[in-house]
């Protein structure tokens, strides 16, 4: 995705940019989650006062964070910036999509404490795709080739 300066947050120190991130607010809705945990999240949690403010699975406000920049030894500034981004958009979930081999991801993980969702998802996500009306060659590609998906693909 192209850099959109209007959607960027910047952390400055003494006039220098120390950290920056582009943000986009996504509104997702979870329709089902398998298992006992899924049943709790979908049915019980929305009815429990206080907990329903923590995570509303019917109307998730997810902040996609991209074009991350942080100067050497400024990882803590990045985390302060990301928290400010989440707060400014009224979101409790931030989504950063980076390759597991990325040196940027390595620096982030070595320095910061990630949220509860990142601890519960061990490096992968399972997607269900509605294939009604897809052409056969596209279905073959989906079955046999790697699929790249980003948060921007969800409309």
Mean pLDDT of all residues belonging to the chain: 79
Q: For residue range 40-92, what is the model confidence (pLDDT) as tens digits?
A: 877 887 778 777 677 777 788 888 888 999 999 888 899 999 999 999 998 88
Q: Which residues contact 147 (CB under 8 A, 6 or more apart)?
A: 127
Q: Which has the higher per-residue pLDDT, 36 or 112?
A: 36
pTM recorded for the entire structure: 0.67
Burial of 66 (C-beta count, 10 Å sphere; 0-12/13-18/19+): buried
Radius of gyration of the chain (CA): 18
CA dist 129 and 126 (Å) reads: 10
pLDDT greater than 80 at residue 5: yes
Quick check: helix, strand or coil at residue 102?
coil
Over residues 119-148, the pLDDT tens digits come to 555 554 555 566 778 888 888 877 777 665
pLDDT in tens, 84-132: 999 999 888 888 877 777 788 888 888 876 766 665 555 545 555 667 7
Hey, what are 146's tokens?
């790697």
Per DSSP bridges, beta strands 16-28 and 60-70 are antiparallel
Residue 25 confidence (pLDDT) above 50: yes
pLDDT at 118: 62
Q: Which two tokens stand for residue 109?
A: 């993980």
Q: What angle do CA 8, 11, 2 make, to 5 degrees?
A: 25
């Amino acid at each position: 995705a192209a850099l959109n300066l209007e959607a960027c947050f910047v952390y400055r120190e003494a006039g220098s940019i120390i950290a920056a991130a582009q943000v986009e607010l996504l509104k997702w809705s979870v329709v089902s989650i398998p298992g006992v945990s899924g049943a709790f999240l979908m049915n019980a949690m929305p009815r429990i006062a206080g907990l329903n403010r923590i995570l509303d699975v019917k109307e998730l406000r997810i902040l996609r964070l991209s074009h991350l920049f942080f100067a050497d030894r400024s990882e803590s500034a990045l985390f302060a910036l990301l928290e400010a981004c989440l707060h400014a958009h009224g979101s409790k979930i931030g989504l950063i999509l980076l390759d597991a081999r990325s040196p940027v991801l390595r620096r982030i993980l070595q320095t910061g404490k990630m949220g509860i969702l990142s601890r519960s998802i061990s490096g992968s996500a399972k997607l269900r795709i509605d294939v009604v009306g897809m052409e056969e060659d596209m279905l073959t590609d989906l079955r046999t080739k790697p699929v790249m998906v980003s948060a921007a693909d969800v409309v």
